[in-house]
Each structure stands twice: as C-alpha cells, then as structure tokens.
Chains A and B, each alone.
Chain A
Amino acid sequence: MSPLEIISAVLLAIGSFLVLSGAIGLLRFPDVYSRMHAAGITDTLGAVAILLGLMFLAGWTLVLAKLIMILLFLLLTGPTASHTLGKAAWKSGLQPLTDGREPAGDSGKGAE
C-alpha cells in the first residue's frame, strides 16, 4: 500500500465511524437539540472525512475537482440546514432538556 492509500483508508475509517456514531446518537439522544447535534456531525465532519479520503485516492484528476465542489456545497448547506432546523424547533416551542438548573444566559423564553 502506498502512503496515500494508507492516509485515505484512515480518513475513510474516521468518516465511517463518525457517520455511524451520528446515526446511533440520532436514535439514542433524548431531545431534538441533542439529536441535531448528532446529525450535524454526520453531514459535516463525517462527510468531510470521507470526501478527503476519496480525494487522496483520486489524485490530480477531474474527479478531485468535482469532490472539492461537493465538499464546498456540503459545508455550505449542512450547517445551514441544521441552523434552520434548530430555529424551527425553537420557534415551535420545543424546550431543550436540561438538568433543571437555570442556565447562566437569558434562556427560557421562546416557549409558548
């Protein structure tokens, strides 16, 4: 195996682990906001690691350029989608689960 292939394999493994952990988190976490945190990892860091791994395999070809464009697109859309989802959840009155203590900031509004 060439060094490039080893780097790519490590990145792909990291990416797959992050996607898997995101999926488990999505099923196991208690409320919308923590679940969104799990899903957010999947479509940013997980996807980025997988795409970087593929880029190392692609070499200096047209495929590399396409992968870079996909990466940029994902980095723009993923966080925007998470942000919009979080905003929608907050607007519809869903409160984050806390341990009961009052947080330091001015939260607690927003719920009807």
Chain B
Amino acid sequence: MSVLFSHYNYWVVIVLMMIGFYIVIAQGNLVKKLIGLNIFQTSVFILYISAGKVSGGTAPILADGITLYSNPLPHVLILTAIVVGIATTALGLSLIIRIRDTYGSVEEQDVRAAEGNRKQESC
C-alpha cells in the first residue's frame, strides 16, 4: 500500500506515455500521431515535475517565513521544453500540410500506396 502512495504518479506517467505511444504506432492519421506525441511529451513533463516536488514544500519563490521549497531546476527545464515543444509541433503540422499537398491525403496508408505507385512508374 505504501508503494502505491509513494509511486502512483510515476505509474500514471507511464500509463499516459503508453497511451501516447499506442496512438503513434497504431493510428495512421498523421495529425492524430502528432497529438499522440504531445501526450507522450506531456507525460515526460509530469515525470520531471513530480520528481522536483518536495513534500510540504512551496513554490520556489523566495518569501519570508518559508524554509522548504520545491526544486526549481526541473521547473526551468520543463518550462523551456514546453515552448520548444509547441515550436516543433508547429513544424510537424506544417510538414503534414505539405504532405497533404503532395499526396492528397494525411493517412499513412494512402501515402505509402502513393509512394509505391511512384516507384513502380519510375522502374
């Protein structure tokens, strides 16, 4: 029981990570894959932030009369990672738009089929 209470959020992180992983490998729509990657990414954020929490601590902003603070380092790493994450997501989305322009579809299967046709024609 004590293991449950001391580790439950790491397990939730893994469940979320696996849901994101499942979406990426099992679903063919490229936009959906990107949403799955975002879920995966957020689960890593939760892992870092959970590791920085100190029981009974407060937010790492200096104030009178407070001695115990949570760890500020993971907060810094994740804060910048979130903004970099949205920038790379935007890059992924614009790649998807270009794929749609080229192949007329954003489904992995259609793109593969079109690519196969193209190879046969060139042979």
Direct touching of A and B (C-beta under 8 Å): no
User: What is B's interface to A at a CB cutoff of 8 Å?
Assistant: none
